[in-house]
Amino acid sequence: MRWPKQLRWRDFSLRKRLLWAFASVCLLSTSLFSLYALAFAYSVEDQFFEAMLEEEGQRQLAAFSQTRTWLSSSDSALRIYLEPSDLPEDLRVAFAAEPSRREFSGAQGRHYHLKKLITPERSSVWLVAEVSKKLVFRRMRGTVFEILLYSTLGLLMLALALAWWQAHITATPLSRLAARVARIQPTELPERLSDDASLNEVGILTRSINGLIERMRAFIEREKSFTRDASHELRTPLTVISSAAEQIAAAQHLYPADQQQLALILSATKQLQHTINSLLTLAREQHLASVLTNPYRLLPLLEQIVLAQIMPFEPYSEKAIKLDCTVGHQVCTTIPEAVLHILLSNLLGNAFAHGLSNTTVYIAAQNQRLYIRNDQAQGQQPEAPIEAFSKHPNSAGFGLGLSIVQRLSDRFGLDLQFKQTPNIAELSFALLPKPSA
């Protein structure tokens, strides 16, 4: 049976663990030594009675070997019985049931110790000591138990006090440190948690966290600088390329082949601008609720991306690309357009580039999810296609496309799912993701 979560030992605070540990050790120790004390007292008392019977038995046997009669004992508690039937009634019944025992409890508080004597003629008699009046420990047993109980309670209180003191000097700084760490926000890093110069574990942990905070602050500053510089240094040349290509496209003397290549440049430039914007958005860690858009139709953007991705294969490529798209005009999505542009560009680009010749790339929307599926040759699939730098054997890229798709999916809650068999690869993601709390 498993404990409820709130009662599991691993969920207890350090203060409670120390209190329980000290109390458990105290109770275990006092109980163990109390048992030792009681066992020692009973053992000593029994050894005393055994010695008394041994001494009386030797005296009786010595007298019987000389006079052939049994002596009367000076101790009224000791008597000789020639037959078991002569034993006192309460002893006789118990002895008949267990003849090998040497100690019996009788009626009305009587207690017997018995010793068998063997005469020179090999006959047997029984020397019996009724020792109820000699049971010293029995009379003081209540007092002993009270002493042990009060001693145990006193030691328990002392152990709890020591545990509380130890927990106070150990757990309190640690709890205070944990609370400070829990309040840390990535965008509002404190200068230092505290200036704990102690040499114990809490001081070492505090100084280590302070060092980590300093490194995190430096890392965040570097990331902010990189994001700012990349935003400027990448967007500026792309804007120049896009403007120049648009001016060239406005000329009237271009051949059809040149116009097609120019359109390809413009499409790739726009795609790269979308990619940069989405990656910078992802780097800024904006909240999901602030970047989801109002629902808009999926098909126009899907058609635009399909044309942009299929253009490099036409008319120069020998690979025949077939497309089966069953996405209706009424299908909508709330994914930001720039993000969706990156997702579809990577997924469709991979499907067109790595699919078999004369096979069909399927695009379908079902149950508020978009599915993209294509056929692949056996033995050419990467072992972990979603991981960074894992790419198709014939790919000319670096294997980062699907990794970026996975990061965007995790960032925007798209629930990206990938299924792969020896011949088919299928990816799907949610078209209407829900903002996280």
220-237 tens-digit pLDDT: 788 777 777 777 777 778
More confident: 170 or 278: 170
Percentage of residues in the chain having pLDDT higher than 90: 3
Residue type, 325: C
Q: Where are the domains of the chain?
A: 14-152, 289-430
122 three-state secondary structure: coil
> Between the CA atoms of 141, 143, 147 and 149, what dihedral angle is there, to the nearest 10 degrees?
70
Cβ-based neighbour number of residue 102 at 10 Å: 14
pLDDT per residue as tens digits for the range 234-253: 777 878 887 888 788 777 67
SS3 429: strand
Q: Does domain 289-430 have CATH number 3.30.565.10?
A: yes
Burial class (CB in 10 A: 0-12, 13-18, 19+), 286: exposed
Distances 188 to 5, 32, 161, 181, 185 between C-alpha atoms, Å: 33, 55, 40, 12, 5
State the Cα–Cα distance between residues 378 and 225, nearest whole angstrom: 45
CA distance 231 to 223: 12
Whether this prediction's pTM lies above 0.95 is answered by no
Which of 2-11, 103-112, 240-249, 418-427 is predicted most confidently? Answer: 103-112
pLDDT band at 400 (very low <50, low <70, confident <90, very high): low
The string of DSSP codes covering 343-389 is HHHHHHHHHHHHSPTT-EEEEEEETTEEEEEEE--TT-S-SSTTSTT
- Model confidence band, residue 96 (pLDDT cutoffs 50, 70, 90): confident
